[in-house]
Structure formats: structure tokens, C-alpha cells
Amino acid sequence: MFSRKNRRPKSPELHAAWESLDSGDVPGALRALRAVAETAPLAEVAQVTARAAATAGFDDLRDAGEALAAHPERAQNLYDFGYACVERGVPVLAIPALREAVRLVPDSAAALRELVSAYEREGRHREAVTALSAREETLADWPDRYLLAYNALMSGDLDLARRQHERLPDPAADPDDRIWLPARDRQRAMLERAASAAGATPLDHRDLRGWQYVMGGSLLGTLSPYGFDEGMHGRYAFLQESYDLCLRALLRLKLVLEATGVRPEAVALLPDRDSRIMGLAAAEVLELPVRPFEGAEPGTLVVAHDLNGLAEDERGREILAALRERAPGQVLHEHASCWTDPPVVAADSVGLLHQHLTPAWAEQMRLDENGEVGTAPADDRPEAEIAAEITAADPTPDEGDGSAPADPDERPAQLASAVADTWLRGPRGGVADTGPVSSSRFL
């Protein structure tokens, strides 16, 4: 017998997702669902999601989707579906269901918190603020008022964030709230960094460098000159790196160290080839000796090309764990940081932000003399020779496409000087959020 759950949805906007599932393309179905999650009927979204979950082997999401498709009027079904969507990494599908659950049961703290969690994972912090503010006077301090302050901060509303943060009692005073101590300390550190940066940078919805510092304590060296007004706001999408850009980023690191008065004693070289190349180049630019990385060494400059690359083996993961806790005077510089898949450790200095990057010495696509696309082979010279290629490059800024505002050396230098007293403090926790400065992203 052909069951109801296998029938094609009536809504035309869901047909593309259904057809993707007909061909076994679950990622394609989810992309199609994402595009219509806010407009298509909840029951039919749940029906398609359940089929996708069954194909992927997610029994919890399949069961929740089938239950919601059968009875979309039940608040428990709405909550269960939203919860399962958040747990399975598709919070965009959770939001309409959880919003309806909150409407039906406005006193449900669980539904509100799950809705806020879904908003946060989608970077929709202003909507989380709206949902929480509707109950501001009845919020529990931990976690609800904390979440209001956090989402206000991540949406760029520093005044509201400070007011709500100041109303929070000490979580150490109540054994049930002690688990929120790290979150309280992290939020307090962000607000302190914001206060120190405010006079030197606008902290508006275009200020990528300022907000990278507020969120994770990272001083961002260079901004992408491409697609600024098309949603990138200083982040790179797909970048084939050049030796020129490598040198420019290292000179910005030098500028930051000079502006903050921080003087490392040596460059500690990480074991991977990409990081060793950048570390050797940094040592030449900064006129510092080099030595192998040996953990939490005070006074060293640790240079990583891409911290995510360290997470690929056990030794790298041990290094990341050691870098999370700061040694006195140690500076961690990450040359190229992926903003769509942030590393678990936030570097103190970052050369650039990208979604996908090909190192300058890796195999790269090139146009030949006939205009045909080909590949240039990887540069397999010794690390020291490639580092010398970097230090001999031309650091003149790329003019880009004309969309980005000018970014002279004075901008990062002014910010670095202003925040010198709050830089290099506390653990290097990762930053899994784009914050108030949104960006286009590409799948």
C-alpha cells in the first residue's frame, strides 16, 4: 500500500526537494528545503524532511518529521521536530516549527530556548533578541537573560548587551548555575574588548576587523578588496593565494606587534609544511630566531598557516589543545583562517579570512596563453626557499574590484594600539559565529 508519507507534497515550492530525494540527492533536497522553509506549509516541510532523514539514517528526525506531518497542530510535535532538526544540523528547518510551538505555548521555557538555539546557529541573532525581549521581565537569569545579552552582543547592540549583562547575578552563588561561569567570563571578556576598541573602530555592521577582535580577541591584518558591497565585507570566498599577499599579511603582523609593544623572543615552528613556510618567512620579516614548537612557551610567536590543518592528526590536535591555554607573552598568528569552518582555537592575530584557500605554493588553476584553464604545478622547493620567495615579494595592496573602502596601515595600527591592554588575555576559545558583520557564503 502506498502510504501518505510517500506522496508527493502538494506545494509546488517543495517539488524540487522531493525530486532531489527521488534521485537520492539528500544534500540537494536540504538546499531546496532551506530556500522555502519559512514559506512552505509546516506539515509538508516535515514530510519531506522525514523522507530525507530516512534516507540518511536519522531515525529520530524521521520519526519527529512523520509525527509533525500527521499532526502539525500539536505543540509537542512542533517542539520535537525542531529539537531534532537542531541536533541534526539543520536549524533553518527548526525555526518555523519552534516559533509556532512558542506561539501555542508561550510559557514554555524549553521551546523558547530551543528556538533561540536555532536562531543562533543560523546567525539570526536579532530575531533571537526579539523572541527573548518579548519575555524580558520574566526571564530566568541563567540561561535566558544571559542569552539575551549574548544575542544582543552578536547582533551589534552593545548597549542592550551591557544592560542585560549587568543584571546577571554571579552564577557561582547558586550550585545549579555554576555551569554558566565560563559563558559569563567569555561574555564579560567580549564586552571589555568592545569597550577598549570603541574609540578606534566604528563597531558597525561593516566593521569586520573590529568585531573579529571583540568576538575572539583576534587582530585581523588584511581585508579582501573583492565583493565588499556584494556581501563579503572583507572576507575572501575562494582564494588562490599569492606570495605577495603572504608578505602583506606578515607586514601587518609586524605592524600589530609594534603597535601593541609586544616583542616575541623567537618564532616557534609548527611541524606541518605550510606552517613552517610561513613561520620561516615571519622570522625573516621580524628578524627573529626560530626553534621548534614545544608547547606553552612564554614569549614565542607561533605561526600557523591554517589551524584547521592541525586538526587532521593526533599530534596536531595535541598542539591545538596546548595553544588553547595561553602562555605568558606568547602570540599565536594564523595566516589564513576559515570563517565558514572556524578553528577550535582563535588566534591572537589573523592574516585573512577565507571560505576556501589554495596556498601560494600549492597546485593552482591558471589560464594559459590561449585563455584555456589549466593548472600550475605545486612548488616543491625546500621550505626555506619558498619562505625567501615570500619575503622577496611585492606587498603592494591589490586594488580589487573597487568595492572595498581603503584599508591603509593606520587602520589596523590604530586598533591594535587602542586594545593593547585587552589583547593576549584569557583562553583562546574558538569563535563559531560571524557576529554582526554578515557575509555571503558559497556551498
Burial status of residue 279 (CB atoms within 10 A of its CB: 0-12, 13-18, 19 or more): buried
- Structural domain tally of the chain? 2
- pLDDT given for residue 350 in this prediction: 98
- pLDDT given for residue 4 in this prediction: 46
Same domain? For 240 and 311 the reply is: yes
Helix (H, G, I), strand (E, B) or coil at 32: helix
Whether 439 is in a domain gets the answer no
- pLDDT given for residue 8 in this prediction: 86
Whether 58 is in a domain gets the answer yes
Whether 62 is in a domain gets the answer yes
85-129 pLDDT tens trace: 999 999 999 999 999 999 999 999 999 999 999 999 999 999 999
303: CATH: 3.40.50
Rounded CA gap, 113 and 109, in Å? 6
Domain with 162, as residue range(s), is 4-189
Same domain? For 240 and 176 the reply is: no
Whether 339 is in a domain gets the answer yes
Same domain? For 158 and 239 the reply is: no
**Closest alpha carbon to 246 in 214, 217, 278, 218:** 278
Of the three residues 164, 189, 214, the one that is the final residue of a domain is 189
Rounded CA gap, 249 and 256, in Å? 11
Whether 435 is in a domain gets the answer no
Whether 394 is in a domain gets the answer yes
Whether 424 is in a domain gets the answer no
Same domain? For 170 and 209 the reply is: no
DSSP 378-441: P--S-HHHHHHHHHTS--PPP-TTS-SPP--THHHHHHHHHTTTTSS-S--B-----TTS----
- pLDDT given for residue 170 in this prediction: 97
Same domain? For 229 and 280 the reply is: yes
Helix (H, G, I), strand (E, B) or coil at 227: coil
Helix (H, G, I), strand (E, B) or coil at 292: strand
Same domain? For 38 and 156 the reply is: yes
Radius of gyration from C-alpha coordinates of the chain: 24
Strand bridging mode 356-358 / 238-240: parallel
Per-residue pLDDT tens listing for the chain (443 residues): 234 456 889 889 999 999 999 999 999 999 999 999 999 999 999 999 999 999 999 999 999 999 999 999 999 999 999 999 999 999 999 999 999 999 999 999 999 999 999 999 999 999 999 999 999 989 999 999 999 999 999 999 999 999 999 999 999 999 999 999 999 999 999 999 999 999 999 999 999 999 999 999 999 999 999 999 888 999 999 999 999 999 999 999 999 999 999 999 999 999 999 999 999 999 999 999 999 999 889 999 999 999 999 988 999 999 999 999 899 999 999 999 999 999 999 999 999 999 999 999 999 887 667 667 788 899 999 999 999 999 999 999 999 999 999 999 999 999 999 999 999 999 999 988 999 998 887 75
